[in-house]
Structure formats: C-alpha cells, structure tokens
Amino acid sequence: MEIMLVTLLLAVTLVLLIGEWLPIDLVAIGLMVALMVTGLLKPAEAVAGFANPAVVTVGAMFLVSQGMARTGAVEILGRRVMALTRGRVRLALLVVVVIVGLSSAFINNTPVVVLFIPVMLGMGCRLGVSPSKFLIPISYASILGGTCTLIGTSTNIIVSDLSAQLGYGRLSMFEVARVGLPLALAGLGIILMAAPRWLPDVANPTCELENQPRRRYLAEMVVPRGSRLVGANPCTDLNAKYPGIEVLELIRYTHIFHPCRDRVTIAPDDRLLVKGSPNELTHILQGKAVELPPMAKELSFGGPAETLVVELIIPPQSELLGQVLGETDLMRDEDLHIVAIERSGLHYTEKQIKDIRLRIGDILLVWCRADRIGKFRHRSDWIVVEDVHEEIVHQRRAPLAAGIFAAMVAAAASSLVDIMTAALGAVFLMVLSGCLPLKEAYRALQSHVLLLIVATIALGTAMTTTGASRYYAELFLGLLNGWSPHMVLLGILVLTSLCTHVMSNNATAVLLLPIAVSTALGLGVDPKPFIMAVLFGASASFATPIGYQTNLLVYGPGGYRFSDYLKLGIPLNLLVVGGASLLIPHVWPL
C-alpha cells in the first residue's frame, strides 16, 4: 500500500513538473505536505532537506556565481580573449566554448550563459554571423563543463551528499574530472565541427553592424488588407521594392516565420519585424504598404525624442517569473511600452500579453525613448539586448571577486574545509566586500530550485523507507535479467538521461540514485560506479530545449526550433552515455 501511494505521488509530481501547470516551488511544497499528510514521512523527515548540506551548498553557489557575474569577472576574460580572434568565426567559436566550459566547471552554469547571451549577440553582429550559430553551443559547453568538477553543477553536489549519506563517501573536488574532462573535450570537438554546419542561420533583430554609416532601427509593422505586398516573398521581393529594408521575422497570428528560412508569402494582417534607416522606414510607411501597430504609433526614428526598440530576455533569477505581465511594473512604466512577447517560437501581441504569465526565456519586444534606456540596464530581472552592448558597471571589484572565488576553490580542493564551509565563507566575503549587495543576493538565491531539491530529497527518503526503491530496482533487474553489470550500468545511464530531458536534473538524480544503489547491491557489485552513472546521466540533457534551463534560455534569442536541439543534442547524448559507460568502470571498478 505504501509503495503504491509513494508511486502515485511520484507520478503526480512528474506530471505537474513536466506540464508546468503550477509553479515549481508550489509543486515542491505540495509534495512535502502530501508526504506528511499521508503519513509516509514524519514532519521532521519531510523538511529535513532544508538542513541538508547539499541544499545549503547549492544556495551558496548561486550567490557566489551571481557575484562573479555582477562584477564581470568572467566577461572581462572573455572579451580579452575574444579580441584575439580578429574576426575569424571558427576561432571565435572555439574561444567562446572553451571560456564557457572552463567557467562552468567552477561557477553555476546558468549565470555564465546569462552573462554570455548579450556578449554572443554582440559578437555575432561584429563578425557578421548569425548568433544562432553560437547560443546552443554555449549552453551545451556549459553543461559539459559542469561535469568536470564537484561544484560545476548543483547535481554533482547533491549526488556527492547523497553518496555520503548512503555510506559511500563524498566526491572530491576533481574526482569526476577523470571521466568528465575527456567527455567534455570530445563534446566540444563535436560542437566545433558540427555547429557552424548544422545550426540555422537566423538574423538577429537587434543586430546593428558597426560599419553602418547610418543608424538602423527596429520596427514592427502590420500588412493591411489590400496592400501591394500581399503575396510577395518577404525574403527577396520586399527588399527589391524597398532597398535597405530587411525583414527579420514574419508573424502570422502567434506563429513566427523566418523569411529566408521558411517558405512563406505575405498575407493580410501579417506582422513584419523589419529593420532600416529612418528614411527607409518612413518611405515604406508613407507608401501605405504597411502600417504601425496601435501601440507603436508614437515611435520616432531619429530626432531629439528618438525611440529604440529593444528586447528584454527573462532569466532564471528574475523576480518577474510566474507573474502575469499585465500586473508587473513594466506595464505601468511610462518610459517603456511593451509591443509584443515571444515564447518558444510563438508571438503574442498587445491584445494578448496582459494575461501571459512570464517564464524563463521569454522575450519582451519593447520600445522606449533613447535617452531613458539607461534606467533599464543593469537589472537582474531581465537581459537587455540592443544595438549598443553596455559594459558592466561594477568591474572595479572583478579582481576581488575572482580572488575570493579562487580562495574558495583552493580551500575546498585541498580539503582545508568542506565545500559547504568554503562556499558560505565565499558568500560572506562577497557581500562584505560589496561584490554582491545583500538585496541582490536574496534575489539570486533561486528559491524555487532549492525548494524542489528539498522536496525531491523528501520523496527520495519516502521511496527508501517504504521499500519503493528496492521494488523498482528489482523490477529494473527483471527487465535486464541475465545482462552483465556493464550493460546494467549502461541501462542506468540511458534511463537517467531520458528522465533528465523531461524533468530537472536535480530531481532526476535524487529519485534515481537510491534505485541505482539498490540495483548495484542486487547485482553484488560496488554501487560507486552506479552512483557516478546517475551523476553523468543526469547532466546528459542536450536533445530538447526543456531538458535544461540554459537550453530553454537560448531558445528564444537564437530563433531555434525544437529540431535544432536534436541535430547536436542526440550526438552529444550518445557521446556522454556511451563514453561514460566505457570510462566509469575503468575509474571506479565494478
């Protein structure tokens, strides 16, 4: 009975996490309440995860990473190294993925990707290359880099702590590098060879080439009924009629088409996201072929009251997440007008956006006066993507932040103190030195992630105490009856990788690790290789945009389709799963 009950709770939790009908933190709290109400766990057991060293360490690493990102410590290095590429695209891609991979080995990879998105967009503009060639690679490089050290990803920290709780010891700082580093190097090689060929060539709406003699502006225009543009090819015909006008996107209802990538012709009521000089935009408007949407009537191209159209990307640490857009301060700000919102290839106009609940990776298309844009920069609630990439204003503290971070890594790697003590000490010094204001530290904590970890730890405890883990392990062994331990290890890797594509990697690790340990004990072999299989399998989430939040974060800015993740993601998944199944038994014998 208890096994059926915990299985039901597991199934309901998975459905809610995958369907996203409720906020993650609300699902986590509901799960803990359900475990207490059903009597599967005592109240103290259900909330014991709040005192778990892994949860404290993960929370501390969020803050340390935010301090590094805020001071620009990573970006300074990135810009200096990228300056050496001198316009060579493949060399630039190499430098970028190496920097992101190295950074993600020591810093939580989500802030690294957040930091590099505007850098990549600006670099793509300078090199004359579509940023879509760079954004998926930086997400994948961050995932690969995170498997090289204990602190590279929160999943590693959680697995290490659970391993200690089960009596198999904690992981050292660089223990996972013996498998993670070879896999990361091979994965980066695949990215460098395949990304320029396989990833799409999608124009960046806010890209302004630096050698343009005239400033070009972004505008959204509506094709009225009876327009002479109806039936025209937006990629070629419109530019022929209006030289200098570049059509970046065609929006039909809620669907976004990329004119030179998708076969589509202009229809009445289509919206065109175009770019051109003030004279060119004025000329096409005067020709009555297109009109400005109602909310954009006040757009002014050039002049003392000129307006800019920019994009605001919603990152994971934003306070706007989960809020209805119509109820946010952005909708009430007199200096900013929201024209539209893009989400996973869909486009919502002013009649629809008021009721949209914001998610990670949403892109707000807004316009505001050029002399007021400064007030919207340097906020952690969004990433401003515009023609002129701004420097981070806190760079004078970058050396101090880097020194604190290096001391943390050295202290943990030398076993001078444990990783939790080192991380908390680094947070204390970051806040004390002004690298991270206390208010911003609270906002960077990502409480929804921590709550989910606490809840899944509680569920994992319930699965162990009720015997559900042993039951699932015996069921799994029954399916693999007669297989060798090496093949069962491969099965664990495949199962973990599949699960991490539809739910968070942290939840996957917590739920599957007890099953993996029980499976190993049933086979009569050392559980340590199976623990490592869960660790690497939980990070093998390349094939979908929803498998990992950095994949989702670059989805909108890169103009990607779901299939674009399969092109590079499937080879990388096969590499990690296959490579780990061969390397793990050599490093941790069965």
Closest by Cα among 223, 234, 238 to 269: 223
pLDDT digits (tens, 9 = 90+) for 114-154: 777 777 776 776 677 888 888 999 999 999 999 999 988 88
Assess if residue 209 is contained within a domain.
no
pLDDT digits (tens, 9 = 90+) for 16-45: 876 667 777 888 899 999 999 998 899 998
Q: Of 350, 385, 420, which residue constitutes the final position of a domain?
A: 385
Assess if residue 392 is contained within a domain.
no
Side-chain-side CA neighbours of residue 6 (13 Å): 23
398: left (phi over 0), alpha (psi -120 to 50) or beta: alpha
The pTM assigned to this predicted structure is 0.73
Query: Is 41 in the same domain as 188?
Result: yes
Torsion of CA 542, 548, 553, 557, to 10 degrees: 20
Would you write out the chain's pLDDT as a tens digit for each of its 590 residues? 788 888 888 888 878 876 667 777 888 899 999 999 998 899 998 898 888 887 888 788 888 877 887 777 666 665 665 666 666 778 888 888 998 898 889 887 877 887 777 777 767 766 778 888 889 999 999 999 999 999 888 899 989 988 988 889 889 889 999 999 999 999 999 999 999 888 888 776 656 544 444 556 677 889 998 898 999 998 888 878 888 788 888 888 878 888 888 888 999 999 898 888 777 777 788 777 888 776 655 555 555 556 677 778 888 778 788 888 888 888 778 777 777 787 766 777 656 677 788 888 888 878 777 777 777 766 778 877 754 333 334 567 888 888 898 898 888 878 788 888 988 999 999 999 888 888 778 877 777 778 888 888 888 888 878 888 778 777 877 777 778 899 999 999 998 898 888 677 888 888 888 888 988 988 889 999 999 999 999 999 898 887 787 887 788 778 788 788 889 999 999 999 999 999 999 999 98
Looking at residue 109, its pLDDT comes to 80
Segment 186-190 long-range contacts (CB within 8 Å, at least 24 positions apart):
186/575, 186/579, 187/140, 187/141, 187/144, 187/572, 187/575, 187/576, 188/97, 188/98, 188/101, 188/141, 188/144, 190/568, 190/571, 190/572, 190/575
Query: Is 180 in the same domain as 302?
Result: no
First CA to last CA distance, the chain: 34
Assess if residue 208 is contained within a domain.
no
Looking at residue 212, its pLDDT comes to 46
Cβ–Cβ under 8 Å, residues 177 and 102: no
| Domain at 315, CATH number | 3.30.70.1450
Query: Is 74 in the same domain as 13?
Result: yes
Query: Is 131 in the same domain as 230?
Result: no
Q: State how far the Cα of 134 lies from the Cα of 131, in Å rounded to an integer.
A: 5
Cβ–Cβ under 8 Å, residues 504 and 17: yes
Number of domains in the chain: 2
Q: State how far the Cα of 260 lies from the Cα of 360, in Å rounded to an integer.
A: 27
Looking at residue 267, its pLDDT comes to 93
In sequence order, which residues have a C-beta less than 8 Å from that of residue 387 and are 6 or more positions away?
Answer: 206, 207, 208, 215, 308
Query: Is 247 in the same domain as 299?
Result: yes
State both tokens at 358. Answer: 């914001």
Query: Is 320 in the same domain as 225?
Result: yes
Cβ–Cβ under 8 Å, residues 63 and 441: yes
pLDDT digits (tens, 9 = 90+) for 513-527: 888 898 898 888 999
Assess if residue 206 is contained within a domain.
no
Query: Is 233 in the same domain as 343?
Result: yes
Cβ–Cβ under 8 Å, residues 397 and 71: yes
pLDDT digits (tens, 9 = 90+) for 420-448: 898 899 999 999 988 888 877 887 777 77
The whole domain housing 472 covers: 2-201+400-587
Query: Is 154 in the same domain as 221?
Result: no
Which string of DSSP letters, residue by residue, matches 395-446? GGGHHHHHHHHHHHHHHHHTTSS-HHHHHHHHHHHHHHTTSS-HHHHHHTT-
Query: Is 439 in the same domain as 323?
Result: no
| Secondary structure percentages of the chain, helix, strand, coil, to 5 | 60, 10, 35
DSSP run (H or E) holding 41: none
Query: Is 338 in the same domain as 429?
Result: no
In sequence order, which residues have a C-beta less than 8 Å from that of residue 237 and are 6 or more positions away?
Answer: 229
Q: Of 385, 412, 437, which residue constitutes the final position of a domain?
A: 385
Closest by Cα among 495, 530, 506 to 516: 530
| Beta-strand pair 363-369/217-222 | unpaired
Assess if residue 271 is contained within a domain.
yes
Cβ–Cβ under 8 Å, residues 367 and 307: yes
Q: State how far the Cα of 40 lies from the Cα of 58, in Å rounded to an integer.
A: 27
Closest by Cα among 150, 145, 82, 148 to 110: 145
Query: Is 189 in the same domain as 280?
Result: no
**What angle separates helix 53-71 from helix 154-165, to the nearest 10 degrees?**
160
CA distances from 27 to 12, 420, 454, 526 (A): 10, 27, 12, 35
Cβ–Cβ under 8 Å, residues 139 and 361: no
Cβ–Cβ under 8 Å, residues 474 and 522: yes
Assess if residue 136 is contained within a domain.
yes
**What angle separates helix 2-19 from helix 468-479, to the nearest 10 degrees?**
80
**SS3 labels along 145-184:** HHCCCCCCCHHHHHHHHHHHHCCCCCCCCCCCHHHHHHHH
Assess if residue 511 is contained within a domain.
yes
Cβ–Cβ under 8 Å, residues 373 and 404: no
Q: Of 385, 409, 429, which residue constitutes the final position of a domain?
A: 385
Query: Is 142 in the same domain as 25?
Result: yes
Assess if residue 437 is contained within a domain.
yes
